[in-house]
Chain A
Amino acid sequence: QQKVQQSPESLIVPEGGMASLNCTSSDRNVDYFWWYRQHSGKSPKMLMSIFSNGEKEEGRFTVHLNKASLHTSLHIRDSQPSDSALYLCAASRTGGYKVVFGSGTRLLVSP
């Protein structure tokens, strides 16, 4: 069964610091990775997606993907208290509909 593993389970960074989150899929047929952010009491919202090897940057957020190792990472620079949330990594196969989510990394940015 396809699994998505995330680490660490929780992370505390100071305001203005860098947060680094990791995610690996056990399914070699996965082609697409997604990062979702879920604030407390709210629903998950898609943050970034990455399909190709390499790096993708959007503002303070950077995503890396290594397809050979099925590993993706999310880096948040200049972290803000509003970034405190549960970050969910998700993966899906080419042409597939099922999106499998990891258990998440709970990020706390301390003022």
Chain B
Amino acid sequence: NAGVIQTPRHKVTGKGQEATLWCEPISGHSAVFWYRQTIVQGLEFLTYFRNQAPIDDSGMPKERFSAQMPNQSHSTLKIQSTQPQDSAVYLCASSLVANTGQLYFGEGSKLTVL
């Protein structure tokens, strides 16, 4: 079991460019989460999928962030018109079932917006 796989591990973009981050959850896990981690804000919930369906995107900045899960083995987080304040480590996590706090995190994608 390879765990949750995230790519790229590091991404540097210029202000105003687009960034797409990928996540492959653990096979058989029905719940997929995206979190954002910064020194100032800590670990913030962004969005949640259950059995590929979007359930809760209440943590997503509405205008520029979007997330999709086109199949059970793949989720993407897209940030349009990136801003310096989007710089963070974006963490994808999966869980066997939805109502458990036992999340398995990927190693994260560190986004730096210049």
Contact = CB atoms under 8 A, between A and B. Distances in A.
Q: Do A and B come from one complex?
A: yes
Interface of A: 32, 34, 42-46, 49, 88, 90-92, 94-104
Among B42, B48, B101, B105, the most chain A Cβ lie within 10 Å of the Cβ of B101
A44 B105 contact: yes
A34 B102 contact: yes
Contacts of B21: none
Given A32-B101, A49-B101, A49-B102, A99 B45 contact: yes
Interface string B30-53: 010101000000110100101000
B43 A88 contact: yes
Contacts of A94: 99
A43 B108 contact: yes
B27 to A, nearest CB: 18
Given A46-B102, A97-B56, 16 more contacts: A43-B91, A43-B106, A44-B43, A44-B105, A45-B105, A46-B103, A92-B100, A92-B101, A94-B99, A97-B48, A99-B33, A99-B101, A100-B45, A101-B35, A101-B42, A104-B42
Contacts of B99: 92, 94-97
B56 A99 contact: no
Interface of B: 31, 33, 35, 42-43, 45, 48, 50, 55-56, 91, 98-108
Contacts, number: 52
A99 B103 contact: yes
Interface centre among A44, A46, A88 (most CB of B within 10 A): A44
A101 B105 contact: no
10 contacts: A43-B107, A44-B91, A46-B104, A90-B101, A92-B100, A97-B55, A98-B56, A101-B35, A101-B42, A101-B43
Contact of B42 (A32, A42, A98, A102): A102
A97 B102 contact: no
In this complex, the member of A34, A95, A99, A103 whose beta carbon has the largest number of chain B beta carbons within 10 angstroms is: A99
